[in-house]
A and B are shown apart, each in its own frame.
Chain A
């Protein structure tokens, strides 16, 4: 008997070896690069130089926070209304929400330029009404719009999946106990949808704070996000790998702290973070 279970434990071995080599070791190497200079000598200079990119860090967090909030405010009602429909239409709508995710996100981002440019569709339309043209491209608003657009399915789906599993009898109980619509939402529905919200917020915030494509395309050269700084240094070549590693390391630590704080918020330990 002992032998058999040893056998079934053994088949995890390839994965464990794989995850050590390709998940753990790369992070150690990143640490090593961040804490050494070009010739491999220990230094804190890379980490010390990060102060120069305070602004990029600040803007990244600010933009990601704003777009996560907007995404949440747009996605929650959508997910909520979806649960009110027939089961077959619910499933259809879920597909409709998911399909854009299968399109390449570079193209999805890029096609906004056609809509937002000074000679783009929106301004042409407004021009016919005698308005504009407004400067929509290369603004902070365009970058935030891009983030909201690219990542909104990741917010709708987890919230929807939590709301659709909500126990109806709890809502009836709340009504029986005299709750009106608003208190029912505030005291019952919202607290119970927390795991979905946390999961959605994580899945929108992390890619937003670390993006470099959206800001390059929709923000022009004016908005340098932290992802842009990292990408810029890596493209400069091996001499800059150390500094870029240090910035990546700080970004990683920052994301981990954000996730940790968010998980504390959820104050339940049933691991709702995973979809």
Chain B
């Protein structure tokens, strides 16, 4: 655990979360959510939880993003808010 790295990664995660819920284009929101998952994965590596980190990188950032892109491509891409 390294304190400045932890702060910077927490800040990036927070910015990604805010961006993912404010962007109106749903595909961009999903891709930003993938970036959020990878920053989360770095945060967990920094906390010495490597097993959780690679599960997150493969399952949540990989399969989750693919599922959401599939859902967005089957429905509408534009969002009103």
Are A and B a genuine interacting pair, yes or no? no
| B interface list, Cβ under 8 A from A | none
Name A's B-contacting residues (CB within 8 A): none
